[in-house]
Amino acid sequence: MNKSSRPGFTLVELLVVIAIIGVLVGLLLPAVQAAREAARRMSCSNNFKQLGLSLHNYHSAYDKLPQHMTGNTRTWTNDSTVCNRLYLSALVGLTPFMEQQSLWEQISNPGDRNKDGSISFPGDNPPMGPGPWQTYYEPWMTDIPTLRCPSDPGRGAPALGRSNYSVCVGDVIELVHSGGKNESNIYDNSTAIDTDEAGIRNGGGSDNNTRATDARSRNRGMFWARHTTAFRDVLDGLSNTIAMGEIATILGGREIISEFVLNGPDAITTNPAACDSQVDPARPQFWLSTASVGGGNQIRGGRWADGRLQYTAFQTIKPPNSLSCYRGGDASQGISSASSRHQGGAHVLMGDGAVKFITSSIESGNQQATPAHSGRESSFGLWGSLGTRAGKETIDSDF
């Protein structure tokens, strides 16, 4: 009697099938990951469009843009638990226009001035909140979904509430950190224009005409710290002028796109290349181990309500995904660059509300040049020109 044989797979056949499946998975995974990043990038762009609508709605309501570096002055007191000393970002004023009315009401709830001149604050918080670095104040610790790019995985401590979106303050280094004014809203020339903090922290005094002239010639962006600007000031046209740009937040790996150097070289106020030597030549996307990067909550995009350069502002000097470097501490002058977790560049929001993706290879002029001012053409090519509101540069619409 013949024995019947049962059909089956040989070991070689099984191994071949497994190998084929492995190859297919290997081919499909990058495509899946690319599709997910494309979706995240689109979501990021949509967030920026929402911010653009918020800016235009704010301007329709008040005939001006939200002031960057605003709040209450140092006139009352130097105590940052009572007074925010004009350090609030423009994002604070936008909160009621991006569906954060309840948060705005918490922040703007005014205090009552007593007969003796002292102030009583409901819930022990001052009107417009305390200094935007105070961690006890819940609004400053809040992560606002509209301010976060889904491609950026940075979350939680040591940051306060994070933001991936920042305002454009032009293409110059000197005096854009303060707009030329001190904490009492005074044009203060008590320190030289090219020093570390250049008067940003001082209080009192009287307006100095020379400092006012210097500040006006150097603050060329759509936003001017501690000053109000409006669409009428944008003589280059809203479609040719950057209003806001992306910034990547810290992951802790000493990346140049998400961590900045403090106490950098003095020459940074006039030479954008002064800090380049602190980048690791073997790993050009990272800082050298000897570079003094920010720590604690003094981190890139780590305080959504803080208007200082390091947290919610950038300049069109170095192209997207370049380094950020400052002469002193987190109130000092320096360079703040746009950056993102997207491959090859970063989103910007134009003044007309359009969102564009700017590549890291955009033409950016002479990166060792002293930034031009006083009505001169930008030193930093097309990228610098896009950051100025009234430079009268000729810009190709296909940038």
Split at pLDDT 50, 70, 90, the class of 106 is confident
Give me 162's structure tokens.
Answer: 């994070």
Report the residue count for the chain: 399
Give Cα separations from 39 to 15, 320, 356 (angstroms): 36, 21, 16
Instruction: Inform me whether the pLDDT recorded for 3 exceeds 90.
Output: no
Under a CB-based contact definition with an 8 Å cutoff, are residues 310 and 328 in contact? Answer: no
Tens of pLDDT, residue by residue over 160-185, are 899 999 999 999 999 999 999 999 99
Counted domains in the chain: 1
Contact 334, 315 (CB under 8 A): no
How many angstroms separate the CA atoms of 336 and 68, rounded?
15
Look up the pTM and report it.
0.86
Residue 124 has pLDDT above 60, yes or no: no
CA 162/CA 157 separation, integer angstroms? 10
pLDDT at residue 118 above 80? Answer: no
* Residue 246, domain member (yes or no): yes
| pLDDT of res. 84 | 87
Please tell me the predicted confidence (pLDDT) of residue 297: 84
348, containing H or E segment = strand 345-350
Angle subtended at Cα 156 by Cα 168 and Cα 359, rounded to the nearest 5 degrees: 35
* Residues 147 and 164 sit within 8 Å (Cβ to Cβ): yes
CA dist., res. 206 & res. 184, Å (int): 9
Convert the pLDDT of each residue in 204-225 to its tens digit: 888 899 999 999 999 999 999 9
The boundaries of the domain holding residue 255 are 15-60+141-399
For residue 64, CA distances in Å to 5, 21, 67, 185, 310 come to 87, 60, 8, 19, 24
Residue 114 counted as domain residue: no
Question: Region 102-126: what's the mean pLDDT?
Answer: 63
**Residue 364 domain-assigned?**
yes
Domain assignment present for 74: no
Residue 116 pLDDT > 70? no
User: Does any domain span residue 92?
Assistant: no
Q: Is residue 103 part of a domain?
A: no
**Position 100 in a domain:** no
Percent of all residues in the chain with a pLDDT value above 70, rounded to a whole number: 87
Question: Side by side, which strands form the sheet with 313-314?
Answer: 313-314, 165-168, 242-246, 345-350, 355-359
Per-position b or e across 145-156, b if 16+ CB within 10 A of its CB:
ebbbbbbbebee
pLDDT for residue 123: 47
Q: Is there a domain that residue 206 lies in?
A: yes
Return the higher-pLDDT residue of 16 and 171.
171
